[in-house]
Each structure stands twice: as C-alpha cells, then as structure tokens.
Structure 1
Amino acid sequence: MPGRERPAGSVPGGSVPAGTHEGPRVTIADIAREAGVSTPTVSKVLNGHSQVAAETRARVEELLQRHNYLRRRARPKETVGLVDLVIREVDTLWSGEVVQGVQREAAEHGTGVVVTATHGGAADTLRWLDNLMKRGSDGIVLAVTDLTPAQRRRVEALGVPLAVVDPVGSPDPSIPSVGATNWQGGLAATQHLIELGHRRIGILQGLEETLCARARLDGYRSALEAAGIGADPALMRPGNFYYTTGFSGMCDLLALPEPPTAVFASSDLMALGAYEALRQAGLRVGQDVSVVGFDDVPHAVWAAPPLTTVRQPLREMAGMATRIVLQGAKAALPEGTLRMELATRLVVRESTGPAPDRS
C-alpha cells in the first residue's frame, strides 16, 4: 500500500534475492531499473567489459551484491566467445546448410557456436534459455523457430543481441531478420512448369505456420492465376518440409482420377519424397511427371534425375544473421531496415520437361 516500506533486499516488482524460494529470482532488468541504467549496461558489468563508467560500475556491483544476484563468471578476454544457434532440427540437409553458414561467419570473428535443436518443443527452448542465463552468449540466431513473448523478455533482460533466419511468423519489426524471396521463388517454379505446357500442377506445401511456406504457396497461386489456369484445391497437399510428407502427398495426388503432370514441392526433401512415390508407381520423373523443389541443398544435383529447384542462399542467410549479432544491425544491414530478403533463383535440371500428351 502507499507509504509502506520496502523490505531490505527487495527490488521493484516484488522480486526477492536469488537463492531463496519465496518468489521470482532477481533479473538483470530488475537490477537495471533500480540502478537507473539499461539492461545492456548491467550485462557489460557482469561480463567484465571495460566500457562502463567507474561510478556506474560501482553502483551496479553494489546492487548485484545486495540482491545476491546469481552471477556467472566473466569470461577471460582471451577465451573464444559464443554464438547460440537455435534451430528446430539439426538432422536435415536444410539445417546442415544453416549450421555451416553460422559456423563459417562465427569462425571469421573468432567465435564458437552452440547449436540447440528445439524439435518444436517448449521444454527444449526453456532448457536452452536456462543454460544461456548461466553461461552467457555473444549473440543468438533463431532459425525457423520462435520465442514466446515471455521467453523473448528473458533474452532481452540479458542484453544479448538476437537475429532471425527465415522467421516463422510475421517478423517482429524490432528484431533483425534475414529471409529469402519465397514468393518470387514459388512464382518462378510454377511459371517454369507452365512454360513447359503443364496445366495440372500440384503443390506439396510446407509447414503451414511458417511464413516461408505461405509465401511459396502464394507465389504458386499467383503464377496459375496470371496464366488463366486458377488454383485447384484438389491439387494441393499439406506437408511439413520433410521427406515423408512429400512421399504421402505425391501418393495422394497420383490417386486422383486425373493426376497432375507436374508438382511443385516446397522443399527439396519433399521433392525427393515425391521421387520415391513416382518410382513406386512406375512413373519417370521429368518425363511422366515433372518435379520442382525448393532450397537447392547439395544433394539436389546428385538426385536421379538431378532436381530442378529454387535456390535460396541458406549459408549466406545464416551468415548474415550471425554477422548482425556480432557486428550489430547497423553494420550488417542497409540503413533504415531490420528486414533483409536475399534473392532466390530457379535452377533448371533434368526433373522437369514438357507436359506429356495424355489425350
């Protein structure tokens, strides 16, 4: 109530000293508020950075001690720094390209990489956040994964820079993100099939909640509508970017009374699943049914036949996101923007050909 004294050792918001079990742990944000400084300033004090005024450092140190803040040891300056890559899965060709992009850029800055796979689960994300708070990080790259508002506040309280590769939903305008021109890629893939004479063109969709999958689907629809064909819901199959849904979706399309003569898969893995469905049906890829993928992972050129696909520069996207967290958005991105889309490009190989005559 008004005028009531605050108990010794408490902080605004009712937090209690770390190490007790009577309430929430004191956060860096609590310390910053009481000290009258920003959370990044408190983070600098905790990590032993020298760019803090002596008076400010003393005030923050006193508050940290008073509240018994559970602090991690500052890394020696000669120790290699760390960047966290948080990704949904690590065992796919797509993920391999992203990991390599982050590692390559981090190595140029003398920085190590910690990779965490969330598998889309909240528990894995929470474990990663707990570990992050204990050991610290020089930057976080999120790849086709997302944080809840509460999780994001915890990251912000640590003052750790954050960037996103392939945002899951609409990008947060306050967080730097790097994506690809997914709509243009979907449009180019479908236009290529239309130019080959195909009119019944199916699509194997990616994970519905992801922004990139929706953009590729919109590009597919736009190309069909521009050609006066129109998108047929019967030729659309849901998926999740993985091989199994490419296989099952292609099997469904082949079971239609009038199957498609071509299919656009929202990922190369799904395209390879479609290959297997066509093989089991005794059909030839590129002759009986044309297939276009998306990503241009290294294995695409070794498929039989080599896969026509939309190349998105995954390593470059991951590298740019890493550069953003290590150098800052102002140094890594064009002035006035926190959202960057790198260009996609159609790569034509042998999995696409003229529409077969089924008359």
Structure 2
Amino acid sequence: MPVSPRRATLATVAASAGVSVATVSKVLNGRSDVAPATRSLVESLLREHDYIASSPRRGEAVATDTVEVQFDNDLNGYSTEIFQGVVAAGAELGVGVVVSVRKSIDHPAMWARELVASGRRALIWVTCWELTTRQLTALSRVQMPLVVIDPLNLPHRQVTSIGSTNFAGGLAATQHLLALGHRRIAYIGGPATATCNQARLHGYRAAMESEGVHVPREYMRFGHFRYQDGLEHGAAMLALPEPPTAIFVGCDESALGVMEAARARGLRIPEDLSIVGFDDTQIARMASPPLTTVRQPLREMGGVALRTALRLAAGEKIDSHHVELATELIVRSSTADVRCAEH
C-alpha cells in the first residue's frame, strides 16, 4: 500500500490545532480532561494528517503480548465457542486476549490507530460484514496483522482467514437426509453472497444432483444466521402446497427457529419433519429434540487463528492464507426415516 513519504508527528498535529503536544497525547489516550471542542478538533486533525501512533519495535520487551478478538454483533453460541478457543490458546501461550464488540467502523484509519495505541499485537476478526478496501488498507498502514474467521468475502488473496470445510459439511448433511429416504429436502442459509453460505449451498446441491433430485426454487431461502430468520423462512416453506419433509439449515440458531415454526403448525420433529443444523454449538445439544448438525471445530478454529496471528506479528511466513478445518456430521434425534413423515 502506498504511504506518505513523511510521517505526521504529535508535534505536527499539535501545531495545526494550536494546542500542546501533551493535549494531543491526552486525546489519543482517551483522557477526560480535554474540552469537547478541543477534543473534536484534535481528532479531526489526527484523521486529516493520517497520524499513526508508534508501536513497539520487534524484539522489544513488553509486559504481555495482547491480541484483540473483535466481533461485529452481540455474542451468541457460535462466537462464544470461537472466543473460548482463542482464550484457551492464549492461556497456553501466555498471551493476553481482549474481546470487543464493534457494530460499525465509520473511520477505519482511526480504528486501526486505536488498536496500535492500545498495544495490540494482532487482530482476530469475527465478522458478518464484507471486508472493505478502506479497512484492510488502514490495518496495513499501521502494520496490524489480521486473521479473519470465516469471512463473508475474501476481497484480497493475501487476507489470512480460518474456516472449515463448508462444502463437505453441506454435502454430508444432505447425504444423511437422502439416506433416510427424503427427497423433498430444502435449504435455509445465511446471506446469499457469503462465502461460507455458498459453499454449504453447493454441497447441498451437489448431493441432490448426484441422486437426480430436482430442487424447486422455493426450496432455497437466504437471510442471516439468526433464530428469527429460521422462524420466518421455516414458516414460509412449511406453508407451501408441497412442503419439504426435511430441511438443512445453515446454522444451529436458525435451525431452532425452524423447529419453532414447525411446532407452531402442529408438526412433530422428527416424525413429521427432519432438521439438520450447522455448527454444533451448545444449543444443538440442548434443543428438544437434540439437533442433528454438522460440527464446525469452532474452538480449534479460534486456537488456530490466535497462533496464526502471533506468527504474522512475529514476521514469520505462513504456509497458506486460508486454512480449512474438517467438519463432521453429528447425528442426534432431529432426523428420522422419511416413512415417519409419510405415516
């Protein structure tokens, strides 16, 4: 990424604002003893000068290496599993882990500078947003290593990401339902353009096509990986003139929404409708009946993300910019032979 030949300093910003260097430093460190108008002016000039805070040189001793795990939404079963994996790996390696929830990034340059000023060695990002060039450029300019968990998109081949074998998981889920005799099998997924959703959908379609089963357009619906989406899309599918006898759902949380939609119509699971989820979070085991699902190794993904982030921070080369860990079908009580539904 191109950078300015001369790097702005605190003195540069202070001179532009007509304040002392100490005042600019207070703004950077979030001190409260700065007048609101002065703070606003200094923050504006920091952005204008594209100020980048100094970071510790490689090899300098620091009290504790700290990695930030950032989520773009409230924590749920999926994100909690990943975070626990990061924390466990951090404890093993003696690395501090900080969690943050940031639902929007309006000023990417300021966001990146804040990470550096806070002493973060690297960033692990669990996001349902599309990564933008501005965000990636901001991180690159401050030399902040980034590892993304199951990104919505991969805008640059050099973005390091950790995921799972989503295609194989979608294939296994659908093959399981086909083996039980189901042919009217629907798919409810996340955002249509999401990389992980597309891979799960392709696995579903590949299994159906290999058995010569036609998939009606109304048997595929997309939204977000949330309970409410499962509830709404499940209700719409079950209201079709010829509803599915089985539904493969792109995440456990949405699968529970489909379960509730089925119960609202007086349907029994799995006697009247078989359901398969994806993730194998705690809610899959606590569901009634317990949910058949595709296990993503979420804790392992978190651990791999942390170790990869530290390698990037140390300037080491990594073997691959995208790593996929194996999925596994976990069969529980939410699926049954199609003859149950037919009787």
Q: TM-score range by the shorter chain?
A: 0.7 to 0.9
Query: 1:28-177 residue pairs with structure 2 within 5 A?
Result: 28=52, 46-47=55-56, 49-50=58-59, 77=62, 79-119=63-103, 121-123=104-106, 128-144=111-127, 145-170=129-154, 172-177=156-161
Residue 255 of structure 1: which of 226, 239, 250 is its match? 239
- Tell whether the 8 Å contact from 2:108 to 2:134 is kept in structure 1 after alignment: no
1:322 is aligned to: 306
Q: 1-side partners of 2:296 and 2:271: how far apart?
A: 26
When the two structures are superposed, what TM-score results if normalisation uses the length of structure 1? 0.78
CA-to-partner distance for each residue in 1:143-182, whole Å, 9 max, x for gaps?
A: 1345421222221122222111102113632132111000
Identity %: 39
Report the equivalent of 1:54: none
Moved more, 287-296 or 126-135: 126-135
The root-mean-square deviation of aligned C-alpha atoms, in Å, is 2.7
2:13 is matched with which residue: 12, 18, 33? 18
Q: Which moved more, 1:294-303 or 1:19-28?
A: 19-28
Aligned to 2:320: 337
Secondary structure class of the residue paired with 2:99: strand
- 8 Å Cα contact 2:121-2:313 kept in structure 1: no
Long gaps (5+) in structure 1: 1-10, 29-41, 52-75
Q: Residues of 2 paired with 1:237 and 1:154: CA distance?
A: 35
Matched, 1:301 2:285: yes
Q: Is the 8 A contact 1:221 1:230 kept in 2?
A: no
- What runs of 5+ residues in structure 2 fail to find an aligned partner? 18-44
Relative to structure 1, the CA distance from residue 107 to residue 178 in structure 2 (aligned partners, 3 Å threshold; closer, same or farther) is same
Aligned to 1:205: 189
Change (3 A) 1:224 1:200: same
Residue correspondence of structure 1 range 151-300 to structure 2 within 5 A: 151-170=135-154, 172-300=156-284
Question: TM-score scaled by structure 2?
Answer: 0.81
Larger radius of gyration: 1
1:185–1:346 contact (8 Å) kept in structure 2? yes
Q: Distance in 2 between matches of 1:284 and 1:26?
A: 60
2:313 corresponds to 1:354: no
Distance 1:308 1:143 in 2: 25
Provide the C-alpha distance between the structure 2 equivalents of 1:296 and 1:162, rounded to a whole number of angstroms. 26
Given residue 152 of structure 1, which amino acid in structure 2 is its aligned partner?
Answer: L
1:90 touches 1:96 (CA, 8 Å); kept in 2?
no
Three-state SS of the structure 1 residue aligned to 2:267 is: coil
- Secondary structure at the aligned position of 2:115 is classed as helix
**Aligned residues of 1:308 and 1:349 also touching (Cα < 8 A):** yes
Count residues with an aligned counterpart.
307
